[in-house]
């Protein structure tokens, strides 16, 4: 038995190949002194049998480490640790154990970690019925097409382009593909000096808010809305003015008078999924002109929406140049890919570009080129078609399951997408509902955090709303999961409410 820091088996659930995992473990063992200089490693057959892996895998790792001078190969002796192996590996040194003398709470001038965020349990993936919004469905993603684009980006011609430092510019191939393949679907066009590539929509929103908002500005924001945008605005000193929404999106009223900035999600309201009607869009742009405010349009989840209204962006009918447009490909491709775009008048983009340069310079150039090839190759359009077909089926399945198993729920007038918004009877606290469902292998997301905190301490935010995502759950599991949630709702409802619903 090998009595070292190398485990008896290699973790099959951790990232990387068996070869890379074994290399990592052997290197750690040498760096920590479990293998001393000159010590012979276990024979390849012995190591393979204990770890339950191929002997060839062990041999390849040994030979690789020998080629780097960490191991030495000798006939009859096998592989042993080189005399200077320790100098070739990073050494682990423990941090000083003396008590901290710095009061960091008094030193820090910001405190964003204490703001309210949407959080998820660390083990949510272990649940069979995961109704989480915004997660990726790996079975829909065209992995073979993406791999091809990734390989093509490694050609000598493409590498010559993206291995340089763009400084504050973007990949011209991606800009061209975005302008030709994506923007026409949103109903408008833009010049290269009017587009900025960002690390996801969140980064685009951060840049827009930094450029446009100063302390004391009045910002109109939909209520409910995306919590992280709300936090960003508060962080920059904005005075938030909550604006209600209904089945036709943002309610246009005199409450817009006096706003300096308006944040809106017209195509697919977050989180209710309703769409701003054409008449309200025209009213909104006229009021922006009359009252001289700028609109930040977050084209949230636009790739997955379908419904009665055209999918054109609010920006497409903006003739006065008052709309700053934010979008991403994350919901379609992968949330971990982090690719977004900021579109606006050239003077605004020029300042946003300079601001981006001071923080990250530019998004990773290799990722930009891969995405560009994916768009130019027509894979984007093919994925959209498959995406819509699959999500439409899940949407219909979820709607039917809600009617059957949670008849007391009021479902928002959804325009498709990847989630639905529910209102349950007032006596149902969805945080408690989520906790009970989680114990039964179901993850659902309570909706309280989407509402703006109330300044009047005598009032509380509504606790009976819930968001149910269906992007990462198989269609055949939807009804079973909702049936479990419905059972928990029935347990929490009073006898009078159950009787009223039954009638």
Q: Measured in Å, how far apart are the chain's first and last C-alpha atoms?
A: 69
Mean pLDDT value across residues 248-255: 95
Single out the residue of 236, 231, 228, 241 nearest to residue 209, CA to CA: 236
Single out the residue of 274, 294, 284 nearest to residue 317, CA to CA: 284
Q: Which of 8-12, 148-152, 388-392 has the highest mean pLDDT?
A: 148-152
- The pLDDT of residue 485: 96
**Is the predicted pLDDT of residue 216 greater than 80, yes or no?**
yes
What residue spans define the domains of the chain?
Answer: 18-88, 122-139+382-502, 153-377
83-117 pLDDT tens trace:
988 877 776 555 556 667 888 888 888 888 888 87
What lies within 8 Å, CB to CB, of 50 at 6+ separation is 1, 2, 8, 42
Percent of the chain with pLDDT over 90: 56
Tokens 């209204």 belong to 309
- The pLDDT of residue 93: 59
331-343 pLDDT tens trace:
777 777 889 999 9
The neighbouring-strand residues paired with 324 are 296
- The pLDDT of residue 417: 78
Check: CB of residue 31 under 8 Å from CB of residue 92.
Answer: yes
For β-strands 323-328 and 294-298, DSSP reports them as parallel
Check: CB of residue 244 under 8 Å from CB of residue 203.
Answer: no
CA dihedral 222, 224, 226, 230 (to 10 degrees): 70
- The pLDDT of residue 95: 54
- The pLDDT of residue 29: 86
139-192 pLDDT tens trace:
777 888 989 999 999 888 888 788 878 888 999 999 999 999 999 989 999 999
**Is the predicted pLDDT of residue 376 greater than 70, yes or no?**
yes
Which 8-state DSSP code applies to residue 39? P
Geometric angle at alpha carbon 226, from 223 and 229, rounded to 5°: 110
CATH of domain 18-88: 1.10.10.10
Higher pLDDT residue, 5 or 226?
226
CA–CA distances in Å: residue 298 to residues 224, 226, 399: 14, 10, 26
- The pLDDT of residue 291: 96
Single out the residue of 225, 242, 276 nearest to residue 448, CA to CA: 225
CA dihedral 422, 426, 429, 430 (to 10 degrees): 0
What single string gives the DSSP state of each residue in 360-429? TSSS-HHHHHHHHHHHHTTHHHHHHHHHHHHHHHHHHHHHHHHHHH-TTPEEP---BSSEEEEE--TT--
- The pLDDT of residue 262: 98
Domain range 153-377, CATH architecture: 3-Layer(aba) Sandwich (3.40)
How far apart CA 469 and CA 263 sit, in angstroms, is 23
For β-strands 261-264 and 294-298, DSSP reports them as parallel
pLDDT category of residue 325 using cuts at 50, 70 and 90:
very high
- The pLDDT of residue 55: 92
pLDDT category of residue 30 using cuts at 50, 70 and 90:
confident
Mean pLDDT value across residues 29-42: 87
How far apart CA 37 and CA 454 sit, in angstroms, is 65
Domain range 122-139+382-502, CATH architecture: Alpha-Beta Complex (3.90)
Asked if the domains at 18-88 and 122-139+382-502 fall in one CATH topology, the answer is no
459-500 pLDDT tens trace:
688 999 999 998 889 999 999 999 999 999 999 997 666 656
- The pLDDT of residue 1: 47
Check: CB of residue 417 under 8 Å from CB of residue 304.
Answer: yes
What single string gives the DSSP state of each residue in 221-235? EEES--HHHHHHHHH
pLDDT category of residue 4 using cuts at 50, 70 and 90:
very low
Kindly give the interhelix angle for 379-405 and 365-376, rounded to the nearest 10 degrees: 90
Single out the residue of 379, 386, 361 nearest to residue 152, CA to CA: 379
- The pLDDT of residue 499: 58
How far apart CA 409 and CA 423 sit, in angstroms, is 6
- The pLDDT of residue 5: 46
- The pLDDT of residue 278: 93
**Is the predicted pLDDT of residue 26 greater than 50, yes or no?**
yes
- The pLDDT of residue 115: 82
């Amino acid at each position: 038995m090998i009595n070292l820091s190398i485990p008896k088996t290699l973790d099959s659930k951790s990232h990387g190949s068996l070869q890379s995992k074994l290399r990592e473990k052997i290197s750690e063992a040498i760096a920590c002194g479990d293998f001393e200089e000159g010590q012979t490693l276990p024979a390849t057959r012995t190591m393979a049998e204990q770890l339950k892996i191929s002997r060839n895998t062990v041999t390849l790792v040994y030979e690789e480490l020998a080629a780097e001078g960490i191991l030495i190969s000798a006939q009859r002796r096998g592989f042993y640790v080189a005399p200077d192996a320790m100098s070739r590996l990073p050494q682990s040194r423990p941090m000083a154990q003396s008590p901290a003398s710095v009061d960091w709470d008094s030193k820090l001038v910001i405190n964003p970690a204490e703001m309210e965020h949407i959080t998820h349990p660390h083990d949510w993936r272990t649940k069979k019925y995961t109704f989480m919004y915004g997660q990726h469905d790996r079975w829909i993603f065209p992995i073979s097409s993406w791999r091809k684009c990734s390989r093509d980006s490694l050609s000598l011609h493409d590498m010559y382009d993206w291995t340089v430092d763009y400084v504050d510019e973007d990949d011209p191939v991606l800009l061209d593909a975005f302008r030709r393949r994506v923007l026409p679907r949103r109903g408008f066009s833009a010049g290269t000096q009017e587009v900025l590539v960002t690390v996801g929509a969140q980064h685009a929103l951060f840049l827009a808010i930094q450029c446009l908002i100063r302390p004391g500005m009045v910002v109109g924001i939909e209520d409910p809305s995306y919590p992280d945008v709300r936090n960003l605005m508060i962080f920059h000193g904005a005075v938030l003015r909550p604006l209600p929404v209904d089945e036709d999106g943002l309610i246009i009223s005199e409450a817009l008078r006096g706003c300096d900035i308006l944040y809106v999600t017209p195509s697919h309201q977050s989180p209710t999924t309703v769409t701003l009607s054409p008449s309200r869009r025209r009213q909104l742009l006229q009021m922006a002109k009359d009252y001289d405010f700028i609109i930040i349009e977050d084209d949230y989840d636009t790739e997955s929406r379908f419904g009665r209204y055209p999918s054109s962006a609010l920006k497409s009918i903006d003739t006065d140049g008052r709309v700053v447009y934010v979008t991403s490909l994350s919901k379609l491709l992968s949330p971990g890919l982090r690719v977004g775009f900021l579109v606006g008048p050239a003077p605004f983009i020029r300042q946003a570009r300079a601001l981006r340069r001071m923080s990250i310079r530019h998004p990773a150039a290799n990722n930009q080129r891969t995405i560009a090839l994916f768009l130019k190759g027509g894979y984007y359009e093919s994925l959209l078609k498959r995406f819509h077909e699959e999500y439409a089926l899940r949407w219909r399945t979820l709607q039917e399951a809600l009617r059957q198993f949670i008849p007391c729920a009021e479902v928002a007038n959804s325009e498709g997408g990847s989630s639905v918004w529910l209102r349950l009877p007032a006596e149902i606290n969805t945080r408690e509902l989520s906790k009970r469902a989680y114990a039964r292998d179901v993850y659902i997301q309570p909706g309280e955090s989407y509402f703006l905190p109330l300044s009047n301490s005598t009032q509380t935010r509504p606790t009976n709303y819930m968001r149910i995502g269906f992007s990462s759950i198989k269609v055949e599991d939807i009804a079973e999961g909702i049936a479990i949630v419905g059972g928990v709702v029935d347990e929490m409802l009073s006898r009078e409410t159950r009787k009223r619903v039954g009638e």
